[in-house]
Amino acid sequence: MVKIRIDDRLLEAAEGSTIMDVAQAAGIDVPHFCYHPAFEPEGSCRMCLVEIEGAPKLELACSTRVKDGMNVLTSSSKVMEARKEILEFLLAEHPLDCPICDKAGECRLQDYYERYGRFDAHFREPKEKRDKMVSIGKKLLLDRERCILCTRCVRFLREVTGTGELGVFERGARTEIGLYEDRRIDNAYSGNLAEICPVGAITDTDFRFKTRVWRLERGASICPHCGRGCNIDIEFRRMTEDAVAEPRIFRVRARENASVNGHWICDIGRYGHPYWTENRSRFVLMNNDAKTTRLSWDRALIILSEKIKGLGLRGKGGRLGLILNSFLTNEELYLIGRIFKKAVDLGNVWFADPKPQEADRLLLTAERSSNLRGARELGFESRPPDLEEIVKRIEVLLVIGSGLREAFAAGEVRKALDRVPAKFLFAAHTGPGDDAYDFLLPAALIAEKLGSLTNTLGLVQEFQPVWRPPGEARPEWEVLADLARELGSGEAWTDLTSIREAMARENPFFRKGHE
Amino acid sequence: MSHGFTPGVLDEVRAVAARYPRREAALLPILRVLQRVSGVLGRAEEELAAELLGFEPIRVREAVTFYSLVRQKPEGRHIIQICINLSCSMAGAGSSLASLQTRLGIGPGETTPDGRFTLLTVECLGNCDQAPCLMVDDDDHGRVREEQLDEILGRYL
Amino acid sequence: MTRERPGLLDLTEHLFEFDIYRSRGGYEAARKALGMLPDAVLAEVRDADLKGRGGAGFPAGVKWGFIPRDGGKPVYLCVNADEGEPGTFKDRWLLTHDPHLLLEGIIITAYAVGAHDGFIYVRGEYETAALRLERAIDEARAAGFLGERIFGTEFGLEVMVHRGAGAYICGEETALLESLEGKRGDPRLKPPFPTSVGLFRCPTVINNVETVSNVPRILRDGAETFRKLGRPGDGGTRLFSVSGAVVKPGLYEVPVGAPLKDLIFEHAGGLPPGRTLKAVIPGGLSAPVLRADEIGLPLDGDSLFRAGSMIGSGAVIVIDDGTSMLDVLGIMTRFYAHESCGQCTPCRIGTSWLHKTVVRLASGNGNMEDIDEIARVASAIKGRTLCPMGDAAALPILALVTKFRTELGSRVEEARVRSGSW
């Protein structure tokens, strides 16, 4: 370890770290464009120049390694002058697009100009004219006039995805970023490019022109689409003044987590945000002779519990069927185990999950659900549903989640369900074939409830709700707690903490520290 | 994959690549050969170079667009490079250039309609004691006076 | 062309032919060196105070000393023959007329630092030079002076000519390495320096043609003889490429520290009749200009540096009263804008900005404030760039607009009047 000073603060640093490493760890902001913690230092933007006592010239914070006793000044007059002049160079050849540029409000050039710039512009010459709407990928547009050639995009595609679709062509002021012939950016992580671009050169057509970033609310959550459990920020607006109004989701961004997803998320999670709001199930419904009526939760739960208790009167047997899914949280799966252990023969529990696909060497796991590992740790074996078995044995079927709809054709499901006396669907999304169920109960999604998920590597991540469930939708764990009470289990699960405590008591895996 | 090149050319570029401890280093020499053979460096040339050297064609194009002597536009049979840097300008490169433009009827960067000459203005050619100087293809011509231009051009058909 | 004896320049005809070179005692210094310990060879060159002749002027022996011994990685030697500094043609002469001298220097240098592969990076325009070198390599190999077991010793060395493709920036050592590795010639961040992380990430010595060409005579005559020819800390003689408004432009060899005035007025014959001296650029276009009254300087690195300029590549460009300094400024700004690699903000945008401004001034659309603005922009580039080319652009432009501000002001005004925009 070495000791250095940055702006009169005495700091300890590991040998071999850069000034930027030390500054970032200490919460000292050194402005930069081309530097990114995920890449080797590039040193080309020159924005991070700082003053080192005893050195004749300003040096780069991003690439200069600290030495014991080094004294760094990040705000001396020489440094401030350098920053101003670098900004002036950048703005000289930068179009004044702020009024129409998506990046406004989260643009480094704007932010730094606000803080360190503020000068009379002296550049009188004609600016370079370049292409402004080059489609470089399925949802990406490149504006070459805005590009400051930080090369983060080029380096991301070379070092992270290894796909190398972008290159640097020409030299001098004619230098530009571009594709090769018709080979476009076509990988599962392309959306990260718009995030890492420090200015509005690469924009995302999924977000383009839809709103201003300062109007967005942001909530931290976990992406549910695979077993990685990438940390995300969901950015949304409530379109009315009503605080309980349903949100309109504008985008999903990566939230940095060194133990899970690093700095990135994949395009499935990023562009899969319609999942949170489209086709949501909002009301408790009963289907009866081609009529659909609304019910209260209380009523529905009484009916369900009586159906279940009714089976018990005819002797314990394989009459109750549960089709679960591995998007359910640890607490929910645990509760299910507690409630139905006695009532359900293990042979009558199935998991309707998306088909596993190829894992990639980055974030995407083969399993395309968020809590498969949690289900395993809680003792569940995720057998896919067998419609024939269900028809043969099951009298009361509780389907949790949308998996059945995705695994089988609607006609097949309907045919099977027609031969099951009582069937309940407890899912967040509506879809074709819903009318085949007797009762529809609306469920909440991860961003609408409390809980925890176990990712593919065994890391348990807790999360908080970002907005309320739509309509009458409720978190599964709450409904299950009510059901437990109705079934007369004698256990009262009043809040999530009590569930967690019980889970930890019973299962050592859930005793360790959580994220 | 031959990319449309003759076995002789393929052998030549392979031999160039083999001379280096790491084959990537052979990029510029290979581009030189391909430019001589094809006249321009287009997609076929880039893909051949990429395949031989073990990297993506985009890296080849990065180099092709960076270097001044590597050219992508079709050109004349003979390339005239006239230096317009300091010593040559002081010695009258400006009037030689004007003279050439008049004689050939083209401006810098252009090719005569009959495809004979491409005229380029360039920076210092390292021949400053022979100012004003120019090159036609690989030949140096120094202390070029206007009266000599016809004769010099006449050597290149 | 003249030289002091003993000198670097040897005017013997057909010296590029192996037999002629040998008859002049060629390759004997290499034989002698290979009979010494490598460290002893290195010490000799270090004691000779041989400074790099490419432009940076770093002591060659000191640089060689940074190469790790037994580092586990191969050591490479690169000779920088990318001579692109405007006004410079000394390396062209050496390569074309005395290629064996360079090869002999390469053998000794490679032996001293433990390199077994040498690359001579020749600028793409030097066709004859490259062909002469390739032929010389073939001849040397045939004689057993290159390849395995040179002079019957354990030392082996392969040398290749590698042609550049038209980029001034590839004369910067790390850009040269990038180019040699098959990429764009974008300079690298330093540190790390090429002696630790160089070609293919291995320790590499990069020296200029003239620097390496001096090595045989150091071994032949001894460090002290070489050192004493020059000044303390800066030994030997230097080749000066003299061009511009002189009667006898050409290559001249004088001892380090010889008077600049003598070079211009005695060796190069002074200015043509009817012309007076206005300015001298002493070290290639990137060396800050000297006014006519400032040329009473000795030709050594320290003296020129203290005078606010530099010895650079030793290219002396003489400017007379018939040349407009606005034209000179135009050539400078155009050159640096064209040659900028484009990586770093100040150089990429600054050199283009300067060029655009001067174009506007020359077309009659500027005033004195623009001259001051040029100084301001050049100052903003200075000291802020990724590689030395930023300063190579900023310093001479700054010197020109400072020292010739009045003339530039009148030229700009003349242009306005001529263009009718008044």
**pLDDT tens-digit series, residues A462-498:** 999 999 999 999 999 999 999 998 888 767 888 999 9
Is residue C2 very low, low, confident or very high in pLDDT (cuts 50, 70, 90)? Answer: very low
Against chain B, the chains showing at least 3 CB pairs within 8 Å are: A, C
Is A230 in contact with A265 (CB distance < 8 Å)? Answer: yes
Closest Cβ–Cβ partner in B21, B89, B126 for C117: B21
Is residue C4 very low, low, confident or very high in pLDDT (cuts 50, 70, 90)? Answer: very low
Mean pLDDT over all residues of chain C?
Answer: 96
Mean pLDDT over all residues of chain A?
Answer: 94
CA–CA dist A351, A420 (Å, integer): 18
Structure tokens at A292: 């659909």
Q: Measure A13 CA to nearest chain C CA, in Å.
A: 20
Q: Report the pLDDT averaged over residues A322-337.
A: 96
CA–CA dist C281, C88 (Å, integer): 12
The pLDDT, as a whole number, for residue C146 is: 97
CA gyration radius for chain A? Answer: 28
Is A155 in contact with A162 (CB distance < 8 Å)? Answer: no
Against chain C, the chains showing at least 3 CB pairs within 8 Å are: A, B
Which DSSP state fits C203? -
Q: Measure C177 CA to nearest chain A CA, in Å.
A: 17
Shortest CA distance to C397 belongs to which of C349, C345, C311, C334? C334
Of 3.40.30.10, 3.20.20.30, 3.10.20.740, 3.40.50.300, the CATH number of A2-75 is 3.10.20.740
3-state helix, strand, coil in chain B (%, to 5): 50, 10, 40
Closest Cβ–Cβ partner in B56, B59, B65 for A170: B65
Is residue A316 very low, low, confident or very high in pLDDT (cuts 50, 70, 90)? Answer: low
Residues 101-160 of C with CB under 8 A from B: 117, 123-128, 160
Q: Does the domain at residues A213-277 carry the CATH identifier 3.40.50.2000?
A: no
Omega prior to A465 cis, within 30 of 0: no
Q: Cβ–Cβ contacts within 10 Å for residue C32, how many? A: 15
Tell me which of C131, C186, C243 to substitute to probe the interface with B (most B C-beta atoms closer than 10 Å): C243
Q: Measure A166 CA to nearest chain B CA, in Å.
A: 8
Q: Measure B135 CA to nearest chain C CA, in Å.
A: 9
pLDDT digits (tens, 9 = 90+) for A135-175: 999 999 999 999 999 999 999 999 999 999 999 999 999 99
Look at A180 and B65 and tell me if their CB atoms are within 8 Å: no
CA–CA dist C347, C358 (Å, integer): 16
Query: In chain A, which segments carry CATH 2.20.25.90?
Result: 213-277
The pLDDT, as a whole number, for residue A494 is: 86
Q: Measure B139 CA to nearest chain C CA, in Å.
A: 8
Q: Report the pLDDT averaged over residues A212-219.
A: 96
Q: Which residue has the higher pLDDT, A319 or A38?
A: A38
The pLDDT, as a whole number, for residue A339 is: 87
Chain B, nearest residue to A175 by Cα = B66
Closest Cβ–Cβ partner in A49, A126, A171 for C356: A126
Shortest CA distance to A395 belongs to which of A343, A447, A431? A343
Mean pLDDT over all residues of chain B?
Answer: 93
- The pTM (predicted TM-score) of the whole model is 0.95
Asked if pLDDT for residue A117 goes beyond 50, the answer is yes
The pLDDT, as a whole number, for residue B1 is: 56
Is residue A313 very low, low, confident or very high in pLDDT (cuts 50, 70, 90)? Answer: low
The pLDDT, as a whole number, for residue C45 is: 98
Look at B90 and C185 and tell me if their CB atoms are within 8 Å: no
Query: In chain A, which segments carry CATH 3.40.50.740?
Result: 285-511
The pLDDT, as a whole number, for residue A410 is: 86
pLDDT digits (tens, 9 = 90+) for C76-100: 999 999 999 999 999 999 999 999 9
Look at B58 and A170 and tell me if their CB atoms are within 8 Å: no
Task: Give pLDDT tens digits along chain B (157 positions).
Answer: 567 899 999 999 999 999 998 999 999 999 999 998 888 899 999 999 999 999 999 999 999 999 988 888 888 999 999 999 999 999 999 999 999 999 999 999 999 999 999 999 999 999 999 999 999 999 999 999 999 999 999 999 9
Q: Does the domain at residues A285-511 carry the CATH identifier 3.40.50.740?
A: yes
Q: Report the pLDDT averaged over residues A56-73.
A: 97
Residues of C in contact with B31 (CB under 8 A): 165
Is A500 in contact with A331 (CB distance < 8 Å)? Answer: yes
Q: Please tell me if residue C357 touches chain A, with a CB cutoff of 8 Å.
A: yes
Look at B66 and A170 and tell me if their CB atoms are within 8 Å: yes
Asked if pLDDT for residue A310 goes beyond 90, the answer is no
Is residue C3 very low, low, confident or very high in pLDDT (cuts 50, 70, 90)? Answer: very low
The pLDDT, as a whole number, for residue A513 is: 62
Closest Cβ–Cβ partner in A86, A125, A170 for C353: A125
Domains belonging to chain C, first-starting first, are 18-167+206-229 (3.40.50.11540), 237-320 (3.10.20.600), 325-419 (1.20.1440.230)
Look at C346 and A126 and tell me if their CB atoms are within 8 Å: no
Look at B25 and C249 and tell me if their CB atoms are within 8 Å: no
Is residue C1 very low, low, confident or very high in pLDDT (cuts 50, 70, 90)? Answer: very low
Asked if pLDDT for residue A315 goes beyond 60, the answer is no
The pLDDT, as a whole number, for residue A66 is: 97
* Secondary structure (3-state) at C383: coil
Least confident span in A227-241, A345-359, C47-61, C110-124: A345-359
Look at A165 and B62 and tell me if their CB atoms are within 8 Å: no
Q: Does the domain at residues A123-204 carry the CATH identifier 3.20.20.70?
A: no
Strand partners, A146: none
pLDDT digits (tens, 9 = 90+) for C116-132: 999 999 999 999 999 99
- What are B142-145's contacts with CB under 8 Å, separation 24+? B144/B96
Q: Report the pLDDT averaged over residues A328-351.
A: 85
Q: Report the pLDDT averaged over residues C35-46.
A: 98
3-state helix, strand, coil in chain A (%, to 5): 30, 20, 50
The pLDDT, as a whole number, for residue B39 is: 83
Q: Measure A349 CA to nearest chain B CA, in Å.
A: 51
pLDDT > 70 fraction of chain A, expressed in percent and rounded: 96
Q: Measure B18 CA to nearest chain C CA, in Å.
A: 12
Residues contacting residue A420 through CB under 8 Å, at least 6 positions apart = A321, A390, A391, A394, A395, A396, A397
Query: In chain A, which segments carry CATH 3.10.20.740?
Result: 2-75
Helices (H) and strands (E) in chain B, counts: 7, 4
pLDDT digits (tens, 9 = 90+) for A383-424: 999 999 999 989 999 999 999 998 898 899 999 999 999 999
The pLDDT, as a whole number, for residue B70 is: 86
Tell me which of B58, B60, B64, B73 to substitute to probe the interface with A (most A C-beta atoms closer than 10 Å): B58
Q: Which residue has the higher pLDDT, A346 or C151?
A: C151
Q: Report the pLDDT averaged over residues C349-368.
A: 97
- How far is C-alpha A443 from the geometric centre of its chain's CA atoms? 19
Residues contacting residue A439 through CB under 8 Å, at least 6 positions apart = A284, A285, A286, A287, A295, A300, A303, A304, A423, A424, A425
Closest Cβ–Cβ partner in A46, A124, A128 for C346: A46
CA–CA dist B9, A415 (Å, integer): 69
